[in-house]
Protein backbone atom coordinates (compact mmCIF):
# COMPACT_ATOMS: atom_id res chain seq x y z
CA UNK A 1 0.00 0.00 0.00
CA UNK A 2 1.32 3.46 -0.93
CA UNK A 3 0.57 6.15 1.59
CA UNK A 4 0.64 9.56 -0.05
CA UNK A 5 1.77 12.26 2.32
CA UNK A 6 -0.01 15.59 1.82
CA UNK A 7 2.17 18.32 3.19
CA UNK A 8 0.33 20.97 5.18
CA UNK A 9 0.80 24.59 4.18
CA UNK A 10 3.02 26.66 6.46
CA UNK A 11 0.53 29.54 6.16
CA UNK A 12 -2.46 28.34 8.17
CA UNK A 13 -3.91 31.57 9.59
CA UNK A 14 -3.96 35.11 8.20
CA UNK A 15 -1.74 37.57 10.04
CA UNK A 16 -4.51 40.20 10.28
CA UNK A 17 -7.20 37.67 11.24
CA UNK A 18 -9.06 37.76 7.89
CA UNK A 19 -10.61 34.69 6.30
CA UNK A 20 -8.66 33.37 3.30
CA UNK A 21 -11.31 34.76 0.90
CA UNK A 22 -11.83 38.05 2.73
CA UNK A 23 -11.01 41.42 1.14
CA UNK A 24 -9.72 44.19 3.40
CA UNK A 25 -12.28 46.92 4.27
CA UNK A 26 -12.99 48.89 1.07
CA UNK A 27 -13.85 52.57 0.56
CA UNK A 28 -14.61 54.28 -2.73
CA UNK A 29 -15.18 57.97 -3.39
CA UNK A 30 -15.82 59.91 -6.59
CA UNK A 31 -14.80 63.48 -7.43
CA UNK A 32 -11.78 63.77 -5.13
CA UNK A 33 -9.95 66.09 -7.58
CA UNK A 34 -12.39 68.79 -8.74
CA UNK A 35 -10.11 70.16 -11.47
CA UNK A 36 -9.95 66.79 -13.28
CA UNK A 37 -12.57 65.69 -15.80
CA UNK A 38 -13.10 62.63 -13.62
CA UNK A 39 -11.54 61.40 -10.41
CA UNK A 40 -11.86 58.76 -7.74
CA UNK A 41 -10.27 57.27 -4.64
CA UNK A 42 -10.16 53.55 -3.90
CA UNK A 43 -8.96 52.25 -0.54
CA UNK A 44 -8.46 48.66 0.56
CA UNK A 45 -7.10 48.34 4.09
CA UNK A 46 -4.07 50.64 4.28
CA UNK A 47 -3.59 50.85 0.52
CA UNK A 48 -4.97 54.04 -1.00
CA UNK A 49 -5.11 54.91 -4.72
CA UNK A 50 -6.24 58.16 -6.28
CA UNK A 51 -6.98 58.45 -10.00
CA UNK A 52 -7.53 61.55 -12.11
CA UNK A 53 -8.71 61.50 -15.73
CA UNK A 54 -8.16 64.31 -18.24
CA UNK A 55 -9.64 64.14 -21.70
CA UNK A 56 -10.35 63.06 -24.33
CA UNK A 57 -8.22 65.93 -25.68
CA UNK A 58 -6.62 66.37 -29.12
CA UNK A 59 -3.27 64.55 -29.00
CA UNK A 60 -0.03 66.47 -29.58
CA UNK A 61 2.36 66.03 -31.29
CA UNK A 62 0.09 65.46 -34.28
CA UNK A 63 2.16 62.57 -35.72
CA UNK A 64 1.19 60.50 -32.66
CA UNK A 65 -2.52 60.84 -33.44
CA UNK A 66 -4.46 57.79 -34.62
CA UNK A 67 -7.27 58.74 -37.03
CA UNK A 68 -9.06 55.47 -36.23
CA UNK A 69 -9.11 55.62 -32.45
CA UNK A 70 -8.09 57.50 -29.37
CA UNK A 71 -5.12 56.69 -27.14
CA UNK A 72 -5.24 55.81 -23.45
CA UNK A 73 -2.20 56.97 -21.51
CA UNK A 74 -1.60 55.89 -17.90
CA UNK A 75 0.87 57.36 -15.46
CA UNK A 76 1.23 55.46 -12.15
CA UNK A 77 3.36 56.68 -9.27
CA UNK A 78 3.88 56.06 -5.58
CA UNK A 79 4.31 59.10 -3.35
CA UNK A 80 7.77 59.25 -1.64
CA UNK A 81 6.32 58.69 1.84
CA UNK A 82 3.68 56.11 0.85
CA UNK A 83 5.85 53.43 2.52
CA UNK A 84 8.20 53.61 5.52
CA UNK A 85 11.35 53.47 3.33
CA UNK A 86 11.09 56.72 1.36
CA UNK A 87 10.69 56.10 -2.38
CA UNK A 88 12.83 58.16 -4.77
CA UNK A 89 10.48 60.57 -6.57
CA UNK A 90 10.10 60.26 -10.33
CA UNK A 91 9.67 57.35 -12.70
CA UNK A 92 11.26 53.95 -12.00
CA UNK A 93 11.28 50.65 -13.89
CA UNK A 94 8.50 49.46 -11.58
CA UNK A 95 6.30 52.55 -12.09
CA UNK A 96 6.77 52.32 -15.86
CA UNK A 97 5.82 48.63 -15.85
CA UNK A 98 2.72 49.29 -13.73
CA UNK A 99 1.69 52.24 -15.93
CA UNK A 100 1.93 49.98 -18.99
CA UNK A 101 0.05 46.98 -17.55
CA UNK A 102 -2.63 49.34 -16.20
CA UNK A 103 -2.98 50.84 -19.68
CA UNK A 104 -3.45 47.33 -21.11
CA UNK A 105 -5.93 46.44 -18.33
CA UNK A 106 -8.07 49.54 -19.01
CA UNK A 107 -7.87 49.79 -22.82
CA UNK A 108 -10.45 47.01 -23.52
CA UNK A 109 -13.16 48.80 -21.52
CA UNK A 110 -12.81 52.20 -23.16
CA UNK A 111 -14.63 52.98 -26.42
CA UNK A 112 -11.41 54.27 -28.01
CA UNK A 113 -12.95 54.21 -31.51
CA UNK A 114 -15.40 56.91 -30.39
CA UNK A 115 -12.77 59.64 -30.18
CA UNK A 116 -10.08 59.38 -32.92
CA UNK A 117 -6.96 61.60 -32.80
CA UNK A 118 -7.37 62.20 -29.09
CA UNK A 119 -5.77 61.07 -25.83
CA UNK A 120 -7.28 60.21 -22.47
CA UNK A 121 -4.75 60.71 -19.69
CA UNK A 122 -5.12 58.71 -16.49
CA UNK A 123 -2.92 59.70 -13.55
CA UNK A 124 -2.74 57.26 -10.65
CA UNK A 125 -1.06 58.24 -7.39
CA UNK A 126 -0.52 56.07 -4.33
CA UNK A 127 -0.39 58.18 -1.17
CA UNK A 128 -0.27 55.10 1.09
CA UNK A 129 0.84 51.57 0.17
CA UNK A 130 0.35 48.22 1.87
CA UNK A 131 0.54 45.94 -1.22
CA UNK A 132 -1.99 45.68 -4.03
CA UNK A 133 -1.40 49.22 -5.30
CA UNK A 134 -1.65 48.37 -9.01
CA UNK A 135 -5.06 46.73 -8.55
CA UNK A 136 -6.28 49.55 -6.27
CA UNK A 137 -5.10 51.99 -8.96
CA UNK A 138 -7.09 50.15 -11.62
CA UNK A 139 -10.23 50.19 -9.45
CA UNK A 140 -9.85 53.94 -8.89
CA UNK A 141 -9.10 54.58 -12.58
CA UNK A 142 -12.21 52.73 -13.78
CA UNK A 143 -14.38 54.91 -11.53
CA UNK A 144 -12.55 58.07 -12.63
CA UNK A 145 -13.08 57.18 -16.32
CA UNK A 146 -16.80 56.65 -15.71
CA UNK A 147 -16.97 59.90 -13.71
CA UNK A 148 -15.30 61.75 -16.61
CA UNK A 149 -18.04 60.45 -18.91
CA UNK A 150 -15.54 58.69 -21.18
CA UNK A 151 -17.57 56.24 -23.34
CA UNK A 152 -17.06 52.75 -21.91
CA UNK A 153 -18.03 49.28 -23.10
CA UNK A 154 -18.14 47.88 -19.56
CA UNK A 155 -16.44 48.37 -16.23
CA UNK A 156 -13.55 46.44 -14.65
CA UNK A 157 -12.43 45.47 -11.16
CA UNK A 158 -9.09 44.16 -9.98
CA UNK A 159 -7.74 42.16 -7.05
CA UNK A 160 -4.51 40.54 -6.03
CA UNK A 161 -4.59 36.90 -4.99
CA UNK A 162 -1.70 35.68 -2.88
CA UNK A 163 -0.16 32.24 -2.69
CA UNK A 164 1.56 31.90 0.67
CA UNK A 165 3.40 28.59 0.73
CA UNK A 166 0.47 26.37 -0.35
CA UNK A 167 -2.39 28.63 0.79
CA UNK A 168 -4.33 30.94 -1.54
CA UNK A 169 -5.62 34.21 -0.05
CA UNK A 170 -7.57 37.18 -1.41
CA UNK A 171 -6.22 40.75 -1.30
CA UNK A 172 -2.72 40.07 -0.02
CA UNK A 173 -1.17 42.75 2.22
CA UNK A 174 2.50 43.67 2.63
CA UNK A 175 3.10 41.49 5.73
CA UNK A 176 1.74 38.53 3.77
CA UNK A 177 3.79 39.46 0.72
CA UNK A 178 6.88 39.28 2.94
CA UNK A 179 6.03 35.71 4.10
CA UNK A 180 9.12 33.60 3.45
CA UNK A 181 8.37 30.15 4.92
CA UNK A 182 7.93 27.05 2.77
CA UNK A 183 7.53 28.10 -0.85
CA UNK A 184 7.30 31.74 0.24
CA UNK A 185 4.85 34.24 -1.22
CA UNK A 186 3.62 34.96 -4.73
CA UNK A 187 1.08 37.60 -5.64
CA UNK A 188 -1.20 37.39 -8.65
CA UNK A 189 -2.87 40.64 -9.69
CA UNK A 190 -5.95 40.06 -11.84
CA UNK A 191 -8.35 42.47 -13.56
CA UNK A 192 -11.76 41.13 -14.65
CA UNK A 193 -14.19 42.97 -16.93
CA UNK A 194 -17.63 43.41 -15.39
CA UNK A 195 -19.91 41.98 -18.11
CA UNK A 196 -17.83 39.82 -20.45
CA UNK A 197 -15.79 38.47 -17.49
CA UNK A 198 -12.72 38.69 -19.71
CA UNK A 199 -9.36 39.04 -17.97
CA UNK A 200 -7.40 42.15 -18.96
CA UNK A 201 -4.55 41.78 -16.47
CA UNK A 202 -2.88 38.70 -15.07
CA UNK A 203 0.62 38.75 -13.64
CA UNK A 204 2.34 35.88 -11.94
CA UNK A 205 5.85 35.63 -10.62
CA UNK A 206 6.34 32.15 -9.23
CA UNK A 207 5.14 28.58 -9.46
CA UNK A 208 1.50 27.50 -9.42
CA UNK A 209 -0.39 24.37 -10.52
CA UNK A 210 -3.33 24.33 -12.96
CA UNK A 211 -5.63 23.23 -10.10
CA UNK A 212 -4.49 26.14 -7.94
CA UNK A 213 -4.83 28.55 -10.86
CA UNK A 214 -8.47 27.51 -11.32
CA UNK A 215 -9.06 28.34 -7.65
CA UNK A 216 -7.28 31.68 -8.12
CA UNK A 217 -9.71 32.59 -10.94
CA UNK A 218 -12.71 31.60 -8.80
CA UNK A 219 -11.49 33.66 -5.83
CA UNK A 220 -10.68 36.63 -8.06
CA UNK A 221 -14.08 36.49 -9.74
CA UNK A 222 -15.90 36.53 -6.41
CA UNK A 223 -13.76 39.37 -5.05
CA UNK A 224 -14.15 41.43 -8.24
CA UNK A 225 -17.94 41.05 -8.10
CA UNK A 226 -17.85 42.55 -4.58
CA UNK A 227 -15.53 45.38 -5.68
CA UNK A 228 -17.69 46.11 -8.73
CA UNK A 229 -20.71 46.66 -6.45
CA UNK A 230 -18.73 49.17 -4.37
CA UNK A 231 -17.57 51.01 -7.53
CA UNK A 232 -21.13 51.19 -8.91
CA UNK A 233 -22.52 52.39 -5.54
CA UNK A 234 -19.95 55.20 -5.37
CA UNK A 235 -20.76 56.28 -8.94
CA UNK A 236 -24.52 56.20 -8.29
CA UNK A 237 -24.03 58.45 -5.27
CA UNK A 238 -22.83 61.21 -7.62
CA UNK A 239 -25.49 60.43 -10.22
CA UNK A 240 -23.30 58.48 -12.70
N1 LIG B 1 6.77 48.64 -1.99
C2 LIG B 1 7.74 49.31 -1.26
N3 LIG B 1 8.69 50.02 -1.93
C4 LIG B 1 8.74 50.07 -3.30
C5 LIG B 1 7.77 49.37 -4.02
C6 LIG B 1 6.81 48.66 -3.34
O7 LIG B 1 7.71 49.29 -0.03
O8 LIG B 1 9.62 50.73 -3.87
C9 LIG B 1 5.73 47.89 -1.25
C10 LIG B 1 4.36 48.57 -1.31
O11 LIG B 1 3.65 48.34 -0.10
C12 LIG B 1 3.70 47.82 -2.44
C13 LIG B 1 4.22 46.43 -2.17
O14 LIG B 1 5.58 46.62 -1.84
O15 LIG B 1 2.28 47.92 -2.37
C16 LIG B 1 4.09 45.46 -3.32
O17 LIG B 1 4.65 45.99 -4.46
P18 LIG B 1 4.47 45.32 -5.86
O19 LIG B 1 5.58 45.79 -6.76
O20 LIG B 1 4.26 43.86 -5.71
O21 LIG B 1 3.14 45.99 -6.46
P22 LIG B 1 1.68 46.14 -5.86
O23 LIG B 1 1.35 44.90 -5.07
O24 LIG B 1 1.70 47.36 -5.00
O25 LIG B 1 0.81 46.30 -7.05
CATH number of the domain where residue 217 is located: 3.30.230.70
Which of 78, 105, 189 gets mutated to test ligand 1 (max ligand atoms within 8 A of its CB)? 78
Residue 153 included in any domain? yes
Write down the pLDDT at residue 206. 84
Write down the pLDDT at residue 129. 98
* Cα atoms in the Cβ-side hemisphere of radius 13 Å centred on 36: 27
Position in ligand 1 atom list of the atom nearest CA 129: 11
Residue 20 included in any domain? no
Q: What is the CB neighbour count within 10 angstroms for residue 34?
A: 6
Write down the pLDDT at residue 4. 67
Residue 5 included in any domain? no
Task: Note the pTM of the prediction, 2 decimals.
Answer: 0.97
Q: How far is the CA of 134 from the centre of ligand 1 (A)?
A: 9
Report which of 15, 3, 54, 32 is spatially closest to residue 185, judged by C-alpha positions. Answer: 15
Residue 10 included in any domain? no
Residue 4 included in any domain? no
Write down the pLDDT at residue 136. 99
Residue 57 included in any domain? yes
- Per-residue pLDDT tens for 57-115? 999 999 999 999 999 999 999 999 999 999 999 999 999 999 999 999 999 999 999 99
Contact 196, 161 (CB under 8 A): no
How far apart, in whole angstroms, are the C-alpha atoms of residue 6 and residue 51? 45
Report which of 115, 193, 116 is spatially closest to residue 158, judged by C-alpha positions. Answer: 193
Residue 183 included in any domain? yes
Nearest CA to ligand 1 atom 17: 131
Write down the pLDDT at residue 41. 98
Position in ligand 1 atom list of the atom nearest CA 136: 25
Please tell me the total count of domains within the chain. 1
Residue segments in the chain with a per-residue pLDDT below the cut of 50: none
Expressed as residue numbers, the domain containing 210 is 26-236
Q: Can you say whether the dihedral through the CA atoms of 190, 169, 164, 4 is positive or negative?
A: negative
Q: How far is the CA of 28 from the centre of ligand 1 (A)?
A: 21
Residue 175 included in any domain? yes
Amino acid sequence: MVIKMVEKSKYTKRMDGRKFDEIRPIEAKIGVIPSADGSAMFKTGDTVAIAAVFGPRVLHPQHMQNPEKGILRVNYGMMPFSVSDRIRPGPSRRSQEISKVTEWALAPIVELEAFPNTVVDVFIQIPQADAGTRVAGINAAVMALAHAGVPMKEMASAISIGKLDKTLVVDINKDEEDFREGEGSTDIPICILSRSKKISLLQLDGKISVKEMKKVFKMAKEACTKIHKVQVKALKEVGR
